[in-house]
């Protein structure tokens, strides 16, 4: 996901990374702008989950949910090979572990000080493991990756059946707390988030812990499996424009069609069962698996566009956004925290409709595509890339371009 060493850059990787960091915001904005219960069960939001709001949510679910985080995971795996190499032993092995340590620290600060929905922490933990697979053959990476992704799916199914066999009273109480808390509980959460940092910490800290546990433990098999897919695709030349234009287009279009069918079914099914958590297994499974070919399809078509010479001016802003992926990811969280949380922010959580969220996303996308190339005309790294690199080498890195 995150940019690799300055000397080993591939514009195609940067372009895809830039698209991914923009795409993930379409889902993150919902989690930032609304109480947790509304994100988990949008049907509770009777004020905004109607008309245009339902349509925009459905578009985000079908075209964005899980897709861009999947691209992030694949790029993270590819980036590890690019950074560490395939030598045994690699002289950069220790450097990689220092990078993951500081990514873990940055992710934890992000989760507890800015926004609970951090992905840097689980990625850092996964990075400590998946680096061991960097020398595996392509076939082995795909097989083990598939087994891990399937394990993630089985864990989700097992969780569903564990709920099925719980005593009804305990199960109903647990699901009510997670998916349909009483209005006064939602109002209390909104009030807490509109308060100052220390006022909302008792609410945000447990949520951050829960999110990190789920991401690090329960979603780890999927994350690591997709990172292995990314390693395999990198070795096959997929991310470095090693395929023909037609191969990208044909395979990308086919994968996109398959993935879209699964994602569209998932969205339709969620509406059909009215977001009843005990009836969502089919939709969740379709979303889980459908996001994989859909993410591959997006990536392949973007690689195809990257091979067209006269689109250089169009590609450049996305490549710049990708070179600053860490900074742009954290900047989106800072903007969201300012807009939706209380002091020193505006405290708009729970008051922003889905169309207004979509407009905010569009504005942030445009701003990112403008500020990233401007910044990189003067500086070698994004601000947080510079911080991460300086911490990794334990030495201030040169920031300004000569």
Convert the pLDDT of each residue in 57-68 to its tens digit: 999 999 999 999
Please state, in angstroms and rounded to a whole number, the distance separating the CA atoms of residues 249 and 223: 26
Is 241 within a domain? yes
**Which of 71 and 168 is assigned the larger pLDDT?**
71
Range of the domain at 155: 6-393
Nearest one of 184, 211, 188, 212 to 199, comparing CA atoms: 188
The per-residue pLDDT for 260 is 98
Give 155-197 pLDDT, tens digit per residue.
999 999 999 999 988 999 999 888 999 999 999 999 999 988 8
Is 398 within a domain? no
5: confidence class by pLDDT, cuts 50, 70, 90: very low
Is 230 within a domain? yes
Instruction: Average the pLDDT over 36-51 and give the result.
Output: 94
| Tokens at 73, concatenated | 């995971």
Is 264 within a domain? yes
345: confidence class by pLDDT, cuts 50, 70, 90: very high
Is 402 within a domain? no
Model confidence, pTM: 0.94
9: confidence class by pLDDT, cuts 50, 70, 90: low
Q: Are 221 and 145 in contact (CB under 8 A)?
A: no
CB atoms within 10 A of CB 402: 4
Please state, in angstroms and rounded to a whole number, the distance separating the CA atoms of residues 63 and 263: 8
Average pLDDT, the chain: 94
For residue 1, is pLDDT > 70?
Answer: no
The per-residue pLDDT for 213 is 86
The per-residue pLDDT for 358 is 98
The per-residue pLDDT for 197 is 85
Q: Count how many residues are written for the chain.
A: 402
For residue 6, is pLDDT > 80?
Answer: no
**For 379, phi and psi rounded to 5 degrees?**
-125, 155
Please state, in angstroms and rounded to a whole number, the distance separating the CA atoms of residues 127 and 124: 5
Q: Are 224 and 67 in contact (CB under 8 A)?
A: no
Is 119 within a domain? yes
8: confidence class by pLDDT, cuts 50, 70, 90: very low
Calculate what percentage of the chain has a pLDDT beyond 70: 98
Is 401 within a domain? no
The per-residue pLDDT for 102 is 98
| Tokens at 346, concatenated | 């505006």
Q: Which residues contact 25 (CB under 8 A, 6 or more apart)?
A: 332, 361, 364, 365
Q: How many domains does the chain have?
A: 1
For residue 215, is pLDDT > 90?
Answer: no
Residue with tokens 């719980």: 166
Is 36 within a domain? yes
Handedness of CA 62, 63, 67, 68 (dihedral sign): negative
């Amino acid at each position: 996901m995150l940019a690799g060493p300055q000397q080993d850059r591939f514009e195609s990787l940067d372009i895809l990374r830039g698209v991914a960091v923009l795409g993930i915001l379409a889902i993150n904005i919902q989690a930032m702008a609304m109480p947790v219960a509304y994100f988990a069960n949008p049907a509770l939001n009777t004020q905004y989950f109607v008309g245009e709001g339902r349509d925009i949510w459905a578009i985000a679910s079908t075209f964005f949910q899980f897709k861009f985080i999947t691209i992030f995971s694949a790029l993270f795996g590819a980036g590890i090979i690019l950074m560490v190499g395939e030598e045994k032993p690699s002289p950069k092995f220790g450097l990689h572990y220092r990078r993951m340590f500081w990514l873990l620290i940055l992710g934890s600060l992000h989760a507890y000080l800015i926004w609970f929905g951090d992905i840097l922490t689980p990625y850092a933990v996964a990075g400590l493991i998946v680096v061991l697979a960097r020398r595996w053959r392509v076939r082995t990476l795909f097989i083990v990756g598939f087994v891990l992704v399937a394990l993630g799916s089985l864990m989700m199914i097992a969780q569903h059946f564990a709920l099925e066999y719980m005593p009804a009273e305990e199960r109903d109480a647990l699901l009510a707390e997670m998916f349909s808390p009483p209005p006064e509980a939602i109002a209390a959460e909104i009030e807490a988030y509109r308060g100052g940092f220390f006022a909302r910490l008792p609410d945000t800290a447990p949520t951050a812990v829960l999110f990190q546990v789920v991401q690090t433990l329960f979603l780890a098999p999927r994350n690591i499996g997709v990172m292995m897919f990314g390693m395999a695709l990198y070795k096959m030349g997929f991310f470095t424009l090693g395929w023909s234009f037609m191969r990208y287009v044909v395979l990308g279009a086919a994968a996109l069609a398959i993935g879209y069918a699964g994602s569209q079914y998932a969205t339709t099914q969620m509406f059909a069962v009215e977001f009843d958590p005990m009836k969502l297994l089919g939709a969740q499974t379709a979303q889980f698996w459908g996001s994989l070919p859909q993410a591959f399809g997006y990536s392949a078509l973007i690689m195809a566009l990257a091979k067209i010479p006269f689109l250089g001016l169009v590609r450049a802003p996305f490549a710049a956004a990708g070179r600053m992926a860490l900074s742009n990811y954290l900047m989106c969280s800072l903007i969201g925290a300012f807009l939706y949380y209380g002091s020193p922010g505006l405290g708009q959580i729970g008051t922003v409709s889905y169309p207004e969220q979509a407009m905010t996303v569009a504005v942030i996308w445009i701003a990112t595509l403008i500020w990233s190339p401007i910044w990189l005309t003067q500086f070698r790294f994004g601000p947080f890339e510079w911080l991460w690199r300086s911490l990794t080498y334990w030495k201030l890195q040169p920031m300004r371009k000569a």
